[in-house]
Chain A
Amino acid sequence: MFKCIYNGGKEAKAGKTVFGDTIRKLIEEDSQVVYLDADLMNSIGTSGLEKVFPNQVIEVGIQEANMAGLAGGLSAVGKKPFMHTFASFAGRRCFDQVFISIAYAKNNVRIIGSDPGITSAYNGGTHMPFEDICLYRAIPHSTVIEFTDSAMTAALLPVIKDRPGLTYCRLSRKNCVAIYSEDSVFEPGVANLLRDGKDAVIFACGYMVSESLKAAEELEKEGISVAVIDMFTIKPLDSAKVLAYAEKTGAVVTAENGNIVGGLGAAVASCLSETKPTPVIRVGVKDEFGQVGTPEYLASVYGLTPTDVIAAVKKSISLKK
């Protein structure tokens, strides 16, 4: 069970701190866990672990393709590898290695891609992943997750430790808006209804969950009742919830911190078009590259603000028959 504690405030601990602490705990608890990183341990809160746990923590160096292959090989001899790099590199830089040496070879590997979408801020266009969800969704039998906040990161990492196959997780390094209480429990593949409503539904993930909750609060003031569902598992999609809320509200909005091509919105729209055709308005990056800027500036440039979500909700309601 989960408890939504959203009040617009940020969480106390940064994503990277919670990630580092949780990985350390997993290493201590399970001697088969191996953590691999490609020269970004200092950025993700795992720095120094390689000295404390030399048999479980491997600083690979700047070679993501080799790291993905190493992870596949480690799984093949019984290890439980986690590998981390920025989401831009986890998606683009080693895609064939992830596809063949991990997924096609049926190895069990968890890949953590940090700095999703506009949260990579000042690293700019080269480091700004808008496409990783699309790429990882396209790998057969993959699991694609976006941690909504640190409470979820801490709760889900131990769950995916023993998950078979390829699991990809987007993770923000910074302090997210707090959504969940620390004792919340999550199940991959089961979306969370954070707020109920009857006029429209917003299916959101990651950074856009808090922005969607803000939008829903504003809309309530205008007398529009909007449900908000956290689709932290983008694949496999919780199609039962998608169908149920499309049925209930008749107006659907999706919201994601990435390109709408092949992302959460595409998944929801495909699901509905083949079962219960319903207007779906996708909030997300409209097929653009990244650039430098503050997350707030980038959110406004790419249309990821509560105002954009509100406009999308109104449009979806206007399209109802």
Chain B
Amino acid sequence: MLTPLKEFATDIRIQQMEAFKARGFGHMGGSLSITDCLAALYGGILRIDPKNPNWEDRDRLVVSKGHSGPALYATLALKGYFPLEVLKTLNQNGTILPSHCDRNLTPGVDMTTGSLGQGASTACGMALGLKLSGKDARVYLVLGDGECQEGQVWEMALFAAQHKLGNFIVFLDYNKRQLDGYVSDICNLEDPAAKFESFNWYVKRIQGNDPDKIYEVILETQKNQKDHPAMIVLDTIKGSGVKQIEDIVLNHHLNISTELADEIINQLIKQKEG
């Protein structure tokens, strides 16, 4: 039997695979690798109201690695922001679900992202603004590991600590791979936990594909970060939860046949049934 959060994560995987299947291609690796984090966030952490996506006092989530939109869209649909059938319009002409997240198109998407590094600053600005207004809402941010090669991320890291953004929790999807190959072969991030610690952040590093563990660590972080921004480094696998995709080294963006998508979806359904 799967735990409720693991079941939710499996449902998110099934629904994003349905979207990829309908279009025949997409950013599968990075979408799958943040799925467990999204399951934890939308499985009880985020203070949100799917019926009122623009609720002023809601928590915000910025997926700075905007190409992971499909995982977020699947999560939002499962939470009732829009019908599940809409997922099949991913990247179709005129869709509300573009390849990269767009806050003006998709109900529940809090920030437009896709030019890497930029979600770091916009999320930080949101956390700053909420703090300046005396609101108790939190801002969550998902960064990619390859994305941390952008200087802007480190500008934000300095700023968030300086301004004591204790309402800001960042996840690093440390799946070790980027479009062209392994992060360590291209421009190594080495030990990101140590780096953010040296920037005066509250830092945790955990196995990143267990939603129950992520959930627990978020609660612990909220309690302990005080006036520090928090970084939770998630050791993940690019493509996690789908062996056929995990095993492809360059799985940033893939084509997928209907047959393979169905095989994967059936295998995920079986996991749920135990």
Query: Contact residues of A with B, CB < 8 Å?
Result: 34, 55-56, 58, 60-61, 63, 65-79, 96-97, 100-101, 104-106
Chain A nearest CB from B142 CB (Å) reads 15
* Residue pair A66, B133 in contact (C-beta under 8 Å): no
Which residue on A lies nearest to B104, using beta carbons?
A106
A76 to B53, CA, bound (A): 13
Please indicate the chain B residues that have their CB under 8 angstroms from the CB of A63 in the complex.
152, 155, 158-159
* Residue pair B155, A77 in contact (C-beta under 8 Å): no
Which residue on A lies nearest to B118, using beta carbons?
A101
Chain A to chain B: the 9 pairs with minimum beta-carbon distance, closest first:
A73-B125, A69-B121, A70-B125, A66-B155, A105-B112, A63-B155, A77-B129, A73-B122, A73-B126
Query: Contact residues of B with A, CB < 8 Å?
Result: 56, 60, 102-104, 110-112, 114-115, 117-118, 120-130, 132-133, 151-152, 155-156, 158-159, 162-163
Do A76 and B122 contact each other (CB < 8 Å), given the known contacts A56-B132, A100-B112? yes
A100 to B126, CA, bound (A): 16
Which residue on B lies nearest to A73, using beta carbons?
B125
Q: What are 28 contact pairs spanning A and B, CB under 8 A?
A: A34-B129, A58-B163, A63-B159, A66-B155, A69-B124, A69-B125, A69-B152, A70-B122, A71-B125, A72-B122, A72-B125, A73-B128, A75-B125, A76-B60, A76-B103, A76-B122, A76-B125, A77-B129, A77-B130, A78-B129, A78-B133, A79-B133, A96-B115, A100-B115, A104-B112, A105-B102, A105-B112, A106-B112
Do A70 and B128 contact each other (CB < 8 Å), given the known contacts A101-B112, A105-B103? yes
Please indicate the chain A residues that have their CB under 8 angstroms from the CB of B104 in the complex.
105-106
Residue from B102, B129, B151, B155 in contact with A74 in the complex, judged by beta carbons closer than 8 Å: B129
* Residue pair B114, A100 in contact (C-beta under 8 Å): yes
Please indicate the chain A residues that have their CB under 8 angstroms from the CB of B156 in the complex.
66, 69
* Residue pair B159, A97 in contact (C-beta under 8 Å): no
* Residue pair B126, A74 in contact (C-beta under 8 Å): yes
Chain A nearest CB from B251 CB (Å) reads 26
* Residue pair B132, A34 in contact (C-beta under 8 Å): yes
Do A73 and B123 contact each other (CB < 8 Å), given the known contacts A34-B132, A65-B152? yes
A79 to B128, CA, bound (A): 10
Q: Total A-B pairs in contact (CB under 8 Å)?
A: 106
Do A79 and B129 contact each other (CB < 8 Å), given the known contacts A66-B152, A105-B111? yes
A34 to B163, CA, bound (A): 15
Residue from A56, A60, A69 in contact with B122 in the complex, judged by beta carbons closer than 8 Å: A69
Please indicate the chain A residues that have their CB under 8 angstroms from the CB of B112 in the complex.
100-101, 104-106
Please indicate the chain B residues that have their CB under 8 angstroms from the CB of A75 in the complex.
125
A33 to B137, CA, bound (A): 20
A96 to B102, CA, bound (A): 16
Which residue on B lies nearest to A100, using beta carbons?
B115
A70 to B56, CA, bound (A): 18
Please indicate the chain B residues that have their CB under 8 angstroms from the CB of A71 in the complex.
125
* Residue pair A78, B56 in contact (C-beta under 8 Å): yes
A70 to B267, CA, bound (A): 43
Chain A nearest CB from B78 CB (Å) reads 24
A104 to B112, CA, bound (A): 8
Residue from A61, A77, A106 in contact with B133 in the complex, judged by beta carbons closer than 8 Å: A77
A73 to B128, CA, bound (A): 8
* Residue pair A77, B126 in contact (C-beta under 8 Å): yes
A105 to B159, CA, bound (A): 22
* Residue pair B56, A74 in contact (C-beta under 8 Å): no
Which residue on B lies nearest to A65, using beta carbons?
B152
Chain A nearest CB from B123 CB (Å) reads 6
Please indicate the chain B residues that have their CB under 8 angstroms from the CB of A97 in the complex.
115, 118, 121, 152
A75 to B121, CA, bound (A): 12
Chain B nearest CB from A93 CB (Å) reads 11
Please indicate the chain A residues that have their CB under 8 angstroms from the CB of B102 in the complex.
105
Chain B nearest CB from A101 CB (Å) reads 5
A78 to B112, CA, bound (A): 16
Chain B nearest CB from A160 CB (Å) reads 19
* Residue pair A73, B121 in contact (C-beta under 8 Å): yes
Of listed B120, B122, B123, B162, residue having the most chain A CB within 10 A: B122
Please indicate the chain A residues that have their CB under 8 angstroms from the CB of B129 in the complex.
34, 73-74, 76-79
Please indicate the chain A residues that have their CB under 8 angstroms from the CB of B163 in the complex.
58
Do A68 and B159 contact each other (CB < 8 Å), given the known contacts A76-B110, A101-B112? no
Please indicate the chain A residues that have their CB under 8 angstroms from the CB of B124 in the complex.
66, 69-70, 73
Chain B nearest CB from A68 CB (Å) reads 7
